[in-house]
Structure 1
Amino acid sequence: MGKWGPRRKKVTGPCFTGNCNQKIGYFPSNCVTELDTNEKPVRVKCQIELNEDNNKVFLVPEQIVFKVSDDLRGNAIIRVGKAKLSCPNKYLKDM
């Protein structure tokens, strides 16, 4: 995983424990999610509202979302929580 990705993970109650680069970190478990192998974190450039299949999602600047893939129209398929939506690539930047 990347520089900050956990090498070992353990969820105990309301906290997540991770070990990376010989450091142990504790985070609220509702603020941490596991990435699939095909996902990468990206930042949102500006405020945007996305609507798809009755899923209405508001994204704010500097919010981190997970890019799953690209579609044929130049959009990215992103994951926000449990929802997967299409978002124009021009609103996203790599981290």
Structure 2
Amino acid sequence: MRMSSVELPDDNEKSLSSASTSPCPSPKPHRLLPTNLYVVLYNFKSRHPDELDLKAGYKVTVIDTSDQDWWKGKCLGRIGYFPSKYVIKLQPGERPLQVTHNLQVSDGDNGLMLLRDQIVIQVGEELDGMVMIRSGDSRQGVCPLKFLQEV
């Protein structure tokens, strides 16, 4: 108990001092959101002890992007390397979904083919059972929510 009461004023002092020096203070939870959170698009089976086993839909916190092809990240408590092309960045408010049936959706041009078990990112709110999604190649389209499931 005594430690908590001692730590609390320290935290408050830090918050007040950082808020007073910042011209546009943001709420603490927003500062703590990971900006390096990615979603796995494809399964990856590690071949070396320093690599991560990944399944489509897993979330990975990326630690090191110094190598263009192999990134280092943390997933399910493990740290290791994985192919950078197997993940897509997850922005705040977006959520990963898995396609349940093969289907073609409108992307405004030629259409976007979605395959069963493919991972897509919901980028907007649901409207009349439809959602805007983003595919791994960053193409967007409108898809019926009934053909998508949480991962």
TM-score (ref. length: structure 2): 0.55
Higher helix share: 2
Gaps of 5+ in 1: none
Where does the alignment leave 5 or more consecutive residues of structure 2 unmatched?
1-33, 38-57
Q: Distance in 1 between matches of 2:68 and 2:126?
A: 38
Q: How many residues align?
A: 94
**How far apart are residue 38 of structure 1 and its match?**
1.1
Cα distance 1:23–1:89, how it changes in 2: closer, same or farther (>3 A)? same
Contact 2:129 2:144 in 1 (8 A): yes
Q: Which structure is higher in RCO with an 8 Å CA cutoff and minimum separation 6? A: 1
Higher percent of residues as strand = 1
Counterpart Cα distance in 2 of 1:73 and 1:90: 11
Higher deviation after alignment, 31-40 or 14-23: 14-23
1:72 aligned to 2:119?
A: no
CA RMSD, Structure 1 to Structure 2 (Å): 2.2
Measured in 2, the distance between the counterparts of 1:21 and 1:79 equals 24
1:32-71 paired onto structure 2 within 5 Å: 32-71=87-126
Q: Percent identity?
A: 29
